[in-house]
């Protein structure tokens, strides 16, 4: 089975300006199209949710064929066996569902896709290649109870909050593998479902995926009420959580509901930004020579929270993401370090 059997004739690549994504069509450059299909790279198959916001170009990728190497890693963690009942969230091209169908052989594979055009493409590709996969057009956050309970559930879209419907629809002893995404960094997460309706498990290293559509980052509120913001100075230019994976992941377990950004000032230092849309809070750190300016607005003091989270991470020995875990219940989710009883302090 070849990945090119599932890739649409039009894919998206970075244009010459290095900013916009532009279409690459199979009939116009078949050699390059085929090289990308046979590479170990992710391939963007949709931008801007299929709208034409930028006159034939795009900025935001909204659907892709995942890199084969990362899917191999996810499938190894998932531990698929013959005869299993599997739900995939995020059909994309249909290629991953086909791989699951080959692994489970006599079992059942259901894949969900929220975008109708993408779902139609996956359905046609799976039918054409002879893979008995059920493709459902719908919101994967809700799962698909009609085929539950599942032995395995895998998501190819990142979640900041694990939908409890996924736990409800996975049988006790079953496994859920998904890319988790926090404020700064994302990582693979493997959860084991217990008979009491909870699920818990560890993170398995760095992974970057597009978010579930209804868990996309809220618009930032930077500079809102700037004239009323609180300003202080600091000698500490704390940029490690924004530029180092392990630091960013750890701090993100404290500030999991924020967005971040950086403004390049043309030198070695940048203005660093945090935002929490729900509370209309934001913070910035603007670099100076010896002292730097911290500006904070809203009921949350986001930069203070960042410093507290970072200092905690350093104090406990700068643990990597593989020492972190997550427990999900009907009441929400909590992060822990090393063992479920060692819950990470909340903000």
Concatenating the DSSP letter of every residue in 21-87 gives EEEEETTT-HHHHHHHHTSSS-EEEEEGGG--TTSS-BSSEEEEE--HHHHHHHHHHHT--TT-EEE
What is the pLDDT, as a whole number, of residue 329? 97
Tell me the per-residue pLDDT of 114-168, one tens digit each, with 9 for 90 and over. Answer: 999 999 999 999 999 999 999 999 999 999 999 999 999 999 999 999 999 999 9
Q: Which entry of 63, 64, 66, 281 is annotated as an active-site residue?
A: 66
The closest of 67, 48, 45 to 56, measured between CA atoms, is 48
Fold that domain 226-315 belongs to in CATH: Double Stranded RNA Binding Domain (3.30.160)
Query: Phi/psi at 202 (nearest 5 deg)?
Result: -110, 165
Find out whether 199 and 167 touch, Cβ atoms under 8 Å. Answer: yes
What three-state secondary structure class fits 246? helix
Catalytic (active site) residue 66:
yes
CA nearest 61: which of 14, 124, 112? 14
Tell me whether residue 68 is exposed, middle or buried, using C-beta atoms within 10 angstroms of its C-beta: 0 to 12, 13 to 18, 19 or more: middle
What length is written for the chain? 347
Read off the pLDDT of residues 218-235 as tens digits, 9 standing for 90 and up.
Answer: 778 888 888 899 999 999
User: For the chain, what are the domain ranges?
Assistant: 3-65, 71-215, 226-315
| Residue 44: strand pairing partners | 12, 64
| pLDDT beneath 50, residues of the chain | none
- Kindly state the percentage of the chain with pLDDT values over 70: 98
Q: Give the pLDDT of residue 265.
A: 65
The CATH superfamily holding the domain 71-215 is Vaccinia Virus protein VP39 (3.40.50.150)
The reported pLDDT for the residue numbered 267 is 60
**Over 164-177, what HEC string results?**
HHHHHCEEEEEEEE
The confidence score (pLDDT) of residue 269 equals 63
The three-state secondary structure class of 259 is: strand
């Amino acid at each position: 089975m070849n990945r090119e059997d599932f890739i649409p004739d039009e894919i998206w690549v970075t244009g010459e300006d290095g900013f916009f994504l532009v279409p690459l069509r199979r009939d116009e450059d078949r050699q390059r199209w085929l090289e990308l299909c046979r590479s170990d790279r992710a391939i963007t198959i949709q931008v801007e949710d299929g709208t034409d916001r930028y006159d034939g170009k795009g900025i935001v990728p909204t659907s892709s064929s995942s890199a084969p190497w990362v899917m191999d890693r996810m499938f190894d963690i998932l531990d698929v066996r013959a005869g299993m009942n599997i739900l995939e969230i995020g059909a994309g091209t249909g290629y991953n569902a086909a791989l699951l169908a080959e692994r489970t052989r006599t079992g059942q594979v259901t894949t969900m896709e929220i975008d109708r055009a993408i779902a139609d493409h996956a359905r046609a590709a799976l039918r054409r290649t002879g893979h008995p996969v059920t493709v459902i057009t719908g919101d994967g956050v809700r799962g698909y109870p009609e085929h539950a309970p599942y032995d395995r559930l895998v998501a190819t879209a990142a979640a900041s909050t694990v939908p409890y419907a996924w736990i409800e629809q996975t049988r006790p002893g079953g496994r859920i593998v998904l890319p988790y995404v926090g404020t700064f960094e994302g990582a693979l997460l493997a959860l084991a479902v217990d008979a009491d309706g909870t699920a818990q498990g560890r993170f398995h290293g760095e992974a970057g995926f597009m978010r579930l559509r209804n868990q996309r980052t809220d618009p930032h509120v930077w500079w809102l009420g700037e004239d009323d913001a609180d300003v202080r100075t600091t000698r500490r230019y704390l940029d490690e959580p924004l530029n180092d994976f392990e630091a960013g992941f750890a701090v993100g377990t404290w500030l999991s509901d924020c967005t971040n950004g950086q403004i390049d000032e043309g030198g070695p230092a940048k203005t660093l930004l945090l935002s929490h849309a729900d509370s209309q809070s934001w913070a910035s750190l603007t670099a100076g020579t010896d002292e730097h300016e911290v500006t904070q607005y809203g009921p949350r003091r986001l930069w203070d929270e960042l410093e507290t989270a970072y200092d905690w991470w350093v104090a406990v020995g700068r643990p990597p993401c593989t020492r972190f875990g997550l427990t999900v219940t009907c009441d929400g989710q909590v992060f822990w370090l090393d063992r479920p009883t060692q819950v990470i302090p909340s903000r």
